[in-house]
Amino acid sequence: MRFEDFRAGMSDAVQNGLRVAAFFVVPGPGDPCLCSVLADGATGELQWWVTWAEETYPALTPNCPQFHWFEREVAEQWGIRPEGHPWLKPIRFQAPYRSGEPNDRPLPSVTDFFSVEGEEIHEVAVGPVHAGVIEPGHFRFQCHGEEVLHLEISLGYQHRGIERALLCGPDKRTIHLIETLAGDTTIGHATAYSQVIEALSGVHPSPAAEAWRSVALELERLANHAGDLGALANDVGYLPTASYCGRIRGDFLNQTALLCGNRFGRGIVRPGGLGVDVAADLIPELRKRLDLAFVDLQNAVELLWRTPSVRARFENAGR
């Protein structure tokens, strides 16, 4: 399709409520293609849009801000520049995909960070090495007293290139790459991948396998919610709930280990069904542990929300 039609279609679709799920380049023997995937939340359908890519093109971001990071990524990976992009700079500081493309990216420490001017403004830089269990990231805060006016996050310090590693698959290592995309979403990503493979191959897992997948997904969700509640408590300096939720998150992870032998759920989901035999006699033990964890988590959260200083810290957060 002509780029003018592609651009107009993107603008109309986003204005009508569709979400930009992906925007990327597909190389070919000739000119590469710019591809966009739009998601319709009302129908659950995906739309696929394709246009030919030249070395430059009029940026989509000014009319559709949803393309902001996508266009920065395309420029970084392929050297295809969106002319008129409001703030074109690297995202992950990776080497370009195309051979012969100059690798003249700035270093992460000298990139063009957003700044707020003013005598009473102070800037706080955190990371990429910091006291946390999440991946390295650099956080640049623009503050006025205790009020954070702007936060810019720079990630990609442990960018592993998994997208490129998945090419020419699936093979024996594919599911292991999928499981390690993000440590806290092993089961979610493995399930999504397995469902895609099953849909393409016409395979239908047994009802028992789908039921155990659902159990594993719920345990992963509960562990993440408990961990996030503890992290929120820690962020406002309320350590009792932070400590309790850390332990409770471990309880949910241990229940996942009871299913498959791994606290993060590696090995339980495989295309076609399950990767392990889950015994039905585990159900009473799981129910017992869930009941105990539910009471503990409820108490920890009630303690958090009943504390006036905590509620004051969260008031108007995110506005």
The per-residue pLDDT for range 45-95, each reduced to its tens digit, is 999 999 988 889 999 999 999 999 999 999 988 889 999 999 888 887 777
- Please say which residue of 159, 186, 216 terminates a domain: 159
Same domain, 148 and 283: no
Q: Last residue of a domain, which of 30, 55, 90?
A: 90
- Whether residues 22 and 42 share a domain: the answer is yes
Residue 80 lies in a domain: yes
Token pair 């696929």: residue: 48
CATH number at residue 80: 3.30.460.80
pLDDT surpasses 70 at 107: no
Pairing of strands 33-40, 45-52: antiparallel
pLDDT at 108 (0 to 100)? 60
Same structural domain, 3 and 23 = yes
Q: What is the structure's pLDDT at 190?
A: 98
Q: Which of 181, 256, 176 is nearest to 218 (CA)?
A: 256
Residue 268 clears pLDDT 90, i.e. is over it: yes
Mean of the per-residue pLDDT values for the chain? 90
Residue 152 has, within 13 A of its CA and on its CB side, a CA count of 17
Q: Give pLDDT, residue 211.
A: 96
316 has a pLDDT exceeding 70: yes
Read off the pLDDT of each residue in 131-145 and give the average, rounded to a whole number: 84
Give the residues across from 37 on adjacent strands.
Answer: 22, 48
* Size (the chain), residues: 319
Is residue 246 located within the same domain as residue 277? yes
Lowest model confidence (mean pLDDT) among 95-99, 108-112, 139-143, 227-231: 108-112
Q: Which of 132, 95, 87 is nearest to 111 (CA)?
A: 87
